[in-house]
Structure 1
């Protein structure tokens, strides 16, 4: 928007004609209009009075060219250039500088070079440093860094000394990293050697260069050495620099010092400070800044209000953000965008879409940032139709080619499960940056198309796009989904090569990949190499150890979280409770429960479910019941856990009563519910009830039985001695019986001495897994219990010939807060002698007890 002129000036402009006002006055008015940003009015005034200014317009041309550059309007600028040429003013350094700047800003770089070359034909006029600065700046703006530096050197060879602005231009192209930092230091040395006078712009540019290269110490030293620090721009650069380099506490200290130095802050002072409050999520300091904003009269500054709103949203104070939004009188597009983003980032997606609707009612035209946020909100709610309507709106405007918007569309279609539409948008993109490629890779992963995700990653590599942490983490996730450890290791090597191994998201993805592929040691190596470990990384490692059976390590790692200055969250507690459940260590479980209560860690439904599961597996059913009864919210997992608990403890009637309550509460059972109920019937001997539940599962709820359901019915019938019924059930199964089915039938045959059917089950078992030693052992035990020693001996010889052995069984016990594991036939424990002595004593006591009971019974007879 162009700034509006005062009424007096507008009236003056409308009456400016050659007959009633001088050329000098017209030129002065043109210059005033340009300074005030009224570029179109300035050009219109010149057009109406061009003949009158034909001989005296030399001083008007720089302003007119600035107006054309600012609009930008290349055609109008070329007309003015022709007038300059007609008046033979192209050798004027001010006009030449304006022409070069005009062509550069309008994107016509080679026209700018042509103007400069024409200017250089005069050996006298070529010594103007301002013209050289403009062409050097032009080269840098178009990315021709080497050529720009060559011009800088050529200028010095011609005997011209660079001024402060020349050096500011050079400092501006010292990009981040070691190379940019070294170049910046050379320029700094040049400044010191040539004893440049105190120039606040040059000093500020120097400090800004150090910040941009990630060298806060050098930026601070340069600031301290400055004699005059009364320039607010300098302080703003310092505040922003500290914040950008992660030192947001220093930014807040500097802001306080600005107030103490009585330096009047400007809009950028507040925006930089509020950005620091966002990084640290320091709501208290942010509110103090808000008070200063109101006191200094910046409460209607759109940029300041946008920063305030963003700060409150980042600190999860959405009501405060709303208040800022609705109290700002002149809400520009940035403020609307910030409010939409604030709602979306705080999970208020519906509210974000409502603000977008209100924005359209206010006839505010959305930009690319608005639409990408709205599309992202549609993704979160998986509103496919709404997202498609936004896509249709995008297609009507030039914004359709914006990479950010197109990437958001790819993500939206992927999250809605439509990879075809996502691919269509992606294929039509004229340019594809790393965000676009990352959206495509992650989209395939979300829809389980891991091969396509890896193909997209390879295509991105072929195109020469360097992956970022997001695309890298998604690619590692695809390797995890395919369980392709070989390619995952190659990706790990690539991660190290491109320097992303220290990234938290990438490292956590690598830990997850190695964990799910069973390589906990490799996961541990990645974790150890992480320079900064956040809570997500710790939780991933705890889960890794728990998943791979390293339960003691999982618990030990959990205890180290607090030692490293972090506090565990619900995910940490859940992961370690799973580990405790696996080893049935009630003391550790109780300790964790107490820890959860003492530290007041927010307990969500996931934690409460894990606690119920832990107490059930540790045999403390009463504690599980207490947690269940006191829960304010229960999901299907909660009900299933409690029903399973009753089932595993032989409480069939309680399990069935809870099942009835669950149905009355409107909770629909799933396959896990029926598995637990049938298991309860199995343990309690309720054969008819178990078969009825199996039938109800299919007929009443449309749940197709899985292998575990079949196993439980076979076990139910087998335990009851209904071996023929069990065998007939297996023959009529809708899916092919696996090892667990035949093994279950074999156990039942052993228990009831049915050798014929047991052999049939064993032969089917050996047909499926001929190289598994434990299968032969079960058949051997069947023969031994039936006293068929010849068959048992033949089977043992066959096992030896095939080199098969049975893996030893194991058990464990918790003693004095330590877990001891014992394997069958293992005597490696240092307390082996003591253990066997205790067992012998127990056996003798049991024999005495049995003898005593026998004597008592004979006396009673």
Structure 2
């Protein structure tokens, strides 16, 4: 009986051991297949039967699913079993915590184990610091590693080369690699190539590549192709791929991905199609990453239908392929299709990741789908993906663009770790919603947390300073830009120029312009605009040819701004020269350019040219119609203006207050009272409330025809308080028609509002003088003298060849004063002689 019991117990033990062994093998197999959730389910059913060598596989599953809670449970079991000091186990634990975003737990694991000579544990910790952005800690860990004489391996050096963003420190590691004979390690060579290309040193990367005697390892070729592409040398990447094929080296699927990325960057569709043929020929048709690169290439080239064909040919679509299709739709403006694709993902139970969510939230931002975006946010609450900074930044952007800034701020304040992108998203939200003070305050808060704003945040901060009308604040951000070495950046420089331009300091804007290292067209445009806004049209116009002299081609903004400056001085020859630039450099004409050309020719007196531009414009905006109507009016072509208004209405273009102002002004100049009053009444049909300029024109229209009582009654019944221009207009009409009583009434109201304006007193003086009221005129003249008031002189200008001369009434400061007066004296003498000669002939 005793022997039977012993045999029975032994058999049960063997059976349990076999069962445990089967369970552990099953867990490892599931992890190897990528079925991480199923592996953790197996463990949860019988956790006590887990072997020591199975725990690393379970921790890998936790890392892939970013399941921190289960990972901690497994960690507790490892501690109970006394295995936490095992280097292999510690490495797995550190990797799990790092991938789950808990660097603090990873540090605790590392600190509580004996500092062994096993380099893999050190590598795991260094890699953890690197992936979480703690570069200084990463270097400190390496220094400690050296102090304890733990020799780094190729993987350690590869991580460190990724840490250093400066060329000098990178070269130090390069020297260490050469001294310790690591230069033949393909991983280190790849890391060196990556380091140099990320520092913008493509030639140094090429020298490392060329120094390799054995170039059969295609991974190095891939790194070099990617490096060229990152530095904008995508054509060199394509040449390298062609060379790789000529040498008959084995091409990997990753090589195809690299070269397809280069095709995407350069939008080289023909080469991309050739690579597509290579993909099919080499049997990479089932590779998900290659499909994703192909899909992206076609999408970047604008062939969304071809991208859809590639997407449809993939049988087992992973999340990367779905993401690529969603991104392709978003990038090409097919927003609704991106949302439909996302719904298909959910239907087919494909788990979305942070990239998917970010793209879908971008789609919601574009079309203002607040409810849909909020529902996605609700789904994210229970998922670890919500903790991703990219997702939280996309949520903030979505809420901001939908005008829900409080929701965006709520997401921002709840973030545990905020990177520059997150800060930038919130600053952008405030700025784009015109909450400039909040945008500036958040920038200051960011700096107080020792975060370095990037150039986009600096640009928004400078522009927000303009929004709050604070030059001092803008200057403080200028100081920050200098501290961060960003003052020579083209976009930061352009914003600083706009800042000083808005505060009337064109000299300072020119100094900023001179300090920008790589001047693009945007910077030049800022200088043109600065001069134009500060009353320096001649300088503004002179900048345009300088753009061409510096090897750049002006764009539509350059031309539009320069034409506006030409219009302000009516310099026709220069306007025609700019029109020549437009044709010569085939600058794409849009409505703004067409409008600027029309306005320039109208103000320069060339109505026929303006008509030609107008008639040849393919798509006329409301501004286009208004410009032409105003042009006809200013040239005395009132009936043409009214006829064009009729054509505009037939084209189903709804007029605005500017349209009616131009029409009423045209009727005013032509003395068409009835037509002007009809147009004034027609404004009501379009629910346009008359503004002060409309009333001024109607008062002037009635005053010209002597209907002074009607004009006065209109003023009394205005929907707003009369401004000085209204009373001045009535006063001028009273003077013309000798209505002194009403003129004095208008004068009283006018002088009450603007008692220090000399020109107003002159109008009243003329009224008294022409009516023969000398005593009142003398009293008013005495008041003017007592107050020290004078009439501001008028001015005129004339354009001769390449220069414009301006003349002010009563001014003798012109360098040509003597010449002008000599000419006037000659003309007076000739006129007198001709007059005397005519009289003698008549006698």
TM over 0.5: yes
Tell me the SS of whatever aligns to 1:227: coil
Asked if 1:812 is matched to 2:797, the reply is: yes
Q: Please, which of 569, 578, 588 is the counterpart of residue 602 of structure 1?
A: 588
Q: Is the 8 A contact 1:61 1:80 kept in 2?
A: no
Aligned to 1:834: 819
Asked if 1:275 is matched to 2:261, the reply is: yes
1:754-795 CA-to-partner distances (Å, cap 9, x unmatched) read 455444434433332333333344444445555656655655
Aligned to 1:5: none
Aligned to 2:154: 164
Consecutive unaligned residues of structure 1, counting only runs of 5 or more, are: 1-16
Asked if 1:235 is matched to 2:221, the reply is: yes
Q: Is the 8 A contact 1:68 1:76 kept in 2?
A: no
Aligned to 1:6: none
Give the distance between the partners of 2:376 and 2:507, measured in 1 at CA: 48
Q: Please, which of 694, 700, 703 is the counterpart of residue 718 of structure 1?
A: 703
Asked if 1:737 is matched to 2:759, the reply is: no
Q: Please, which of 688, 705, 717 is the counterpart of residue 690 of structure 2?
A: 705
CA shift for structure 1 position 679: 0.6
Q: 1:61-100, aligned counterparts within 5 Å?
A: 74=71, 77-78=74-75, 81=78, 85=82
Q: Is the 8 A contact 2:699 2:730 kept in 1?
A: yes
Q: Is the 8 A contact 1:675 1:708 kept in 2?
A: yes
Q: 1:421 to 1:93 in 2, by over 3 A?
A: closer
Q: Please, which of 480, 483, 493 is the counterpart of residue 466 of structure 2?
A: 480
Tell me the SS of whatever aligns to 1:813: strand
Q: Please, which of 578, 588, 613 is the counterpart of residue 574 of structure 2?
A: 588
RMSD, aligned CA? 4.2
Range with greater deviation from structure 2 (431-440 or 686-695):
431-440
Q: Report how many residues are paired.
A: 827
CA shift for structure 1 position 517: 3.5
Aligned to 2:752: 767
Q: 1:269 to 1:734 in 2, by over 3 A?
A: same
Q: Please, which of 251, 269, 283 is the counterpart of residue 265 of structure 1?
A: 251
Asked if 1:510 is matched to 2:496, the reply is: yes
Q: Is the 8 A contact 1:77 1:102 kept in 2?
A: no
Q: Is the 8 A contact 1:277 1:283 kept in 2?
A: yes
Range with greater deviation from structure 2 (359-368 or 58-67):
58-67
CA shift for structure 1 position 143: 6.5
Q: 1:111 to 1:751 in 2, by over 3 A?
A: closer
Q: 1:286 to 1:588 in 2, by over 3 A?
A: farther
Q: Please, which of 656, 668, 682 is the counterpart of residue 682 of structure 1?
A: 668
1:72-96 CA-to-partner distances (Å, cap 9, x unmatched) read 65267448746974xxx88876566
Asked if 1:344 is matched to 2:348, the reply is: no
Q: Is the 8 A contact 2:386 2:392 kept in 1?
A: yes
Q: Please, which of 195, 199, 222 is the counterpart of residue 209 of structure 1?
A: 195
Q: 1:302 to 1:542 in 2, by over 3 A?
A: farther
Q: 1:123-134, aligned counterparts within 5 Å?
A: 126-130=116-120, 132-134=122-124
Q: Is the 8 A contact 1:417 1:447 kept in 2?
A: yes
Give the distance between the partners of 2:275 and 2:360, measured in 1 at CA: 30
Q: Is the 8 A contact 2:59 2:71 kept in 1?
A: no
Aligned to 1:9: none
Tell me the SS of whatever aligns to 2:797: strand
Aligned to 1:694: 680
Q: Is the 8 A contact 2:177 2:183 kept in 1?
A: no
CA shift for structure 1 position 824: 2.0
Q: 1:458 to 1:791 in 2, by over 3 A?
A: farther
Q: 1:475 to 1:783 in 2, by over 3 A?
A: farther
Q: 1:511 to 1:112 in 2, by over 3 A?
A: closer
Asked if 1:221 is matched to 2:203, the reply is: no
Consecutive unaligned residues of structure 2, counting only runs of 5 or more, are: 1-13
Q: Please, which of 473, 484, 487 is the counterpart of residue 501 of structure 1?
A: 487
Asked if 1:532 is matched to 2:518, the reply is: yes
Tell me the SS of whatever aligns to 2:807: strand
Q: Is the 8 A contact 2:183 2:189 kept in 1?
A: no
Q: Is the 8 A contact 1:609 1:638 kept in 2?
A: yes
Aligned to 2:363: 377
Tell me the SS of whatever aligns to 1:518: coil
Q: 1:776-791, aligned counterparts within 5 Å?
A: 776-785=761-770
Give the distance between the partners of 1:432 and 1:418, measured in 2 at CA: 20
Range with greater deviation from structure 2 (34-43 or 597-606):
34-43
Q: 1:153 to 1:526 in 2, by over 3 A?
A: closer
Give the distance between the partners of 1:397 and 1:102, measured in 2 at CA: 17
Q: Is the 8 A contact 2:122 2:145 kept in 1?
A: yes
Tell me the SS of whatever aligns to 1:209: helix
Tell me the SS of whatever aligns to 2:558: helix
Aligned to 2:6: none
CA shift for structure 1 position 217: 4.4
Q: 1:36-75, aligned counterparts within 5 Å?
A: 37=34, 74=71
Q: Please, which of 608, 615, 634 is the counterpart of residue 648 of structure 1?
A: 634
Aligned to 2:163: 173
Give the distance between the partners of 1:234 and 1:205, measured in 2 at CA: 9
Q: 1:346 to 1:197 in 2, by over 3 A?
A: closer
Aligned to 1:632: 618
Give the distance between the partners of 1:424 and 1:93, measured in 2 at CA: 42
CA shift for structure 1 position 133: 4.5
Give the distance between the partners of 1:470 and 1:156, measured in 2 at CA: 39
1:261-302 CA-to-partner distances (Å, cap 9, x unmatched) read 333332332333333344444445444444433443334433
Range with greater deviation from structure 2 (103-112 or 809-818):
103-112
Q: Please, which of 536, 556, 560 is the counterpart of residue 570 of structure 1?
A: 556
Q: 1:750 to 1:450 in 2, by over 3 A?
A: farther
Give the distance between the partners of 1:435 and 1:105, measured in 2 at CA: 20
Q: Is the 8 A contact 2:740 2:771 kept in 1?
A: yes
Q: 1:93 to 1:637 in 2, by over 3 A?
A: closer
CA shift for structure 1 position 712: 0.8
Range with greater deviation from structure 2 (546-555 or 395-404):
395-404
Range with greater deviation from structure 2 (336-345 or 836-845):
836-845
Aligned to 1:442: 428
CA shift for structure 1 position 677: 1.3
Give the distance between the partners of 1:682 and 1:147, measured in 2 at CA: 77
Q: Is the 8 A contact 2:490 2:517 kept in 1?
A: no
Aligned to 1:303: 289
Q: 1:569 to 1:323 in 2, by over 3 A?
A: farther
Q: Is the 8 A contact 2:98 2:106 kept in 1?
A: yes
1:180-217 CA-to-partner distances (Å, cap 9, x unmatched) read x4443333333333344732223333333333444444
Q: 1:763 to 1:322 in 2, by over 3 A?
A: farther
Q: 1:787-798, aligned counterparts within 5 Å?
A: 795-796=780-781, 798=783
Give the distance between the partners of 2:444 and 2:102, measured in 1 at CA: 37
Q: Is the 8 A contact 1:413 1:421 kept in 2?
A: yes
Asked if 1:560 is matched to 2:557, the reply is: no
1:544-567 CA-to-partner distances (Å, cap 9, x unmatched) read 322333222222212222223332
Q: 1:44 to 1:242 in 2, by over 3 A?
A: same
Q: 1:328 to 1:727 in 2, by over 3 A?
A: same
CA shift for structure 1 position 669: 1.6
Q: Is the 8 A contact 1:18 1:49 kept in 2?
A: no
Give the distance between the partners of 1:142 and 1:418, measured in 2 at CA: 31
Give the distance between the partners of 1:68 and 1:351, measured in 2 at CA: 34
